Amino acid sequence: MANTETQSILVVGSGMSGLTAAIEAAEAGYDTYIVEKNPYLGGRVAQLHQYFPKLCPPYCGLEINFRRIKQNPRVHFFTMAEVKKISGEEGDFNVTIGLSPRYVNEKCTGCGECAEACTIEIENAFNYGMDKIKAAYLPHDMAFPMRYVLDPILVKSEEAQRVKEACPYDAIDLNMEPKTIELKVGSIIWATGWKPYDANKLETYGFAQHLDVITNVMMERLASWTGPTKGKIIRPSDGRAPESVAFVQCAGSRDENHLPFCSGICCLASMKQATYVHEQYPDAKIYIFFIDIRATDRLEDFYNKVKEDENIRFIKGKVAKITQDENDKGLILRVEDTVKEELHEISADLVVLATGMQPNTSDTPVPIHVDYDDYGFISSQNTTAGIYAAGCVRTPTFVSEVVQDGTAAALKAIQSVVRR
């Protein structure tokens, strides 16, 4: 008879690739364990405003997956969790998982009384630090699980006890400690996704100096009704509506000093974000400075549609420097026009850096040998039996592709446990 422990599958990361892999394997009859370091499931997609090319809200797809999880007792998940150690081999892996304390247990109803009682504020990581939240918080409005978190700053403070007493459901446990658990699984899917390239490293673009230079992931939050401005795209410096917005493509990408590869997605992300601006400000001038436009397959139609808009100007040129204009408080972009071989100065109220996608394995590698490619993504030809990569940790790409990748990884992971 098969050993049910080694028939189960570990999925690390709960973005669209990991969620898909875990649910598909569970629906095929295998127990799956999701390990997610955030206090909620869903990955970066939960932070997007709309999906190209249809411009629909990404939360629909996530909601469907959360419903499938609730209906399937074979999917188990741990949040605020990370894999510390992996040993063994295909069909028989031992995994050590570290759990950070949430200080809130499963009795939480999401009533929010603890946040009301709390006076300490922290940076809102979900909105990339563009606003603040209480130190007793729900990670975001649609979070799954819908359970609050207490920041350690609050737990160590004098008001911790008062916040605990404000909870009507006895859901706060200030004595929660970090925990370690051991699991036995037959195969592992690594789906830890990507992070935006650090714009602070792009010194000539002044991200650290000018509040009105933001990144593409920040723009997603700025446009979102759950974002720091409830969806109003305004200049962070003075709250003014921008009359002109410049998108700087390949910000740190295809550059030997930063990310040498093309993320394949940020051209389309900027076009999508140009439509966000245009919807709110039909007369705003929008510039997209590019080296090449990457829009493959059916996404070429989306590009053609955006190009028809006469207020959106595509300019083939490399932005060399961004500085503040002292007179009107706008920003000046110095651009090398690579077609006419001229240098231009263009002013804009708001600048969006289209930063690329870096694999999370560049910070946190898999704690067992796997093969990586030259850019730090897990290699598609990874030779470690029983361990499979899925989604943007394997290659930067769109959601529809990471979903397919998750399904493919689920099948390979099932084959690994069945072979035993």
Ligand X SMILES: Cc1cc2nc3c(=O)[nH]c(=O)nc-3n(C[C@H](O)[C@H](O)[C@H](O)COP(=O)(O)OP(=O)(O)OC[C@H]3O[C@@H](n4cnc5c(N)ncnc54)[C@H](O)[C@@H]3O)c2cc1C
Do β-strands 331-337 and 312-324 pair in parallel, antiparallel, or remain unpaired? antiparallel
Question: E strand or H helix at 180, and its extent?
Answer: strand 179-185
Nearest one of 36, 157, 41 to 100, comparing CA atoms: 36
Q: Is 416 helix (H, G, I), strand (E, B) or coil?
A: helix
Residue 43 beta carbon to ligand X: minimum distance, rounded to whole angstroms: 3
Report the site for ligand SF4 in 316-355 (rule: CB under 6 A).
354
Report the site for ligand SF4 in 185-204 (rule: CB under 6 A).
none
Is residue 135 within 8 A of residue 158, CB to CB? The reply is no
Residue 28 beta carbon to ligand SF4: minimum distance, rounded to whole angstroms: 35
Q: What are the residues facing 248 on neighbouring strands?
A: 289, 353
The site partner of 112 among ligand X, ligand SF4, none (C-beta below 5 to 8 Å per kind) is ligand SF4
149 belongs to the binding site for ligand X (CB under 6 A): no
Spatial separation of the C-alpha atoms in residues 211 and 236, rounded to whole Å: 6
Spatial separation of the C-alpha atoms in residues 398 and 392, rounded to whole Å: 8
Binding track over 212-231 against ligand X, x by CB under 6 A: ----xx--x-----------
262 belongs to the binding site for ligand SF4 (CB under 6 A): yes
Is residue 186 within 8 A of residue 177, CB to CB? The reply is no
Binding track over 351-390 against ligand X, x by CB under 6 A: ------x--x---x--------------------------
254 belongs to the binding site for ligand SF4 (CB under 6 A): yes
Which residue type, as a one-letter code, is found at position 420? R
Q: What is the separation, in whole angstroms, between the first and last Cα of the chain?
A: 11
Residue among 6, 7, 8, 14 that touches ligand X (CB under 6 A): 14
Residue 171 beta carbon to ligand SF4: minimum distance, rounded to whole angstroms: 4
Which residue type, as a one-letter code, is found at position 287? Y
Other Cβ atoms less than 10 A from the Cβ of 156: the count is 9
Nearest one of 76, 92, 82 to 180, comparing CA atoms: 82
Nearer to ligand SF4 by Cβ, of 112 and 152: the residue is: 112
Binding track over 263-292 against ligand X, x by CB under 6 A: --x---x--x--------------------
Q: What are the residues facing 309 on neighbouring strands?
A: none
Helix %, strand %, coil % for the chain, to 5?
25, 30, 45
250 belongs to the binding site for ligand SF4 (CB under 6 A): yes
Residue 263 beta carbon to ligand X: minimum distance, rounded to whole angstroms: 7
Which range touches ligand X (CB under 6 A), out of 1-9, 35-43, 136-144, 319-327?
A: 35-43
The site partner of 104 among ligand SF4, ligand X, none (C-beta below 5 to 8 Å per kind) is ligand SF4
Report the site for ligand SF4 in 42-81 (rule: CB under 6 A).
none
137 belongs to the binding site for ligand X (CB under 6 A): no
Structure-token match 């093969």, residue found: 371
SS (H, E, C) 230-267: CCCCCCCCCCCCCCEEEEEEEECECCCCCECCCCCCHH
127 belongs to the binding site for ligand X (CB under 6 A): no
Residue among 109, 161, 304, 415 that touches ligand SF4 (CB under 6 A): 109
Q: What are phi and psi of 69, to 5 degrees?
A: -65, -45
Residue 317 beta carbon to ligand SF4: minimum distance, rounded to whole angstroms: 13
The site partner of 194 among ligand X, ligand SF4, none (C-beta below 5 to 8 Å per kind) is ligand X
Question: E strand or H helix at 166, and its extent?
Answer: helix 160-166
172 belongs to the binding site for ligand SF4 (CB under 6 A): yes
392 belongs to the binding site for ligand X (CB under 6 A): yes
N residues, the chain: 420
CA 162 to chain CA centroid, nearest Å: 34
Report the site for ligand X in 297-356 (rule: CB under 6 A).
none
Residue 136 beta carbon to ligand SF4: minimum distance, rounded to whole angstroms: 6
Residue among 9, 22, 223, 265 that touches ligand SF4 (CB under 6 A): 265
Spatial separation of the C-alpha atoms in residues 365 and 372, rounded to whole Å: 10
Spatial separation of the C-alpha atoms in residues 291 and 299, rounded to whole Å: 18
Which range touches ligand X (CB under 6 A), out of 14-22, 127-135, 300-308, 310-318?
A: 14-22
Residue 341 beta carbon to ligand X: minimum distance, rounded to whole angstroms: 31
Residues that bind ligand SF4 (CB under 6 A): 104, 108-114, 148, 167, 169, 171-172, 249-250, 253-254, 262-267, 292, 294, 354, 356
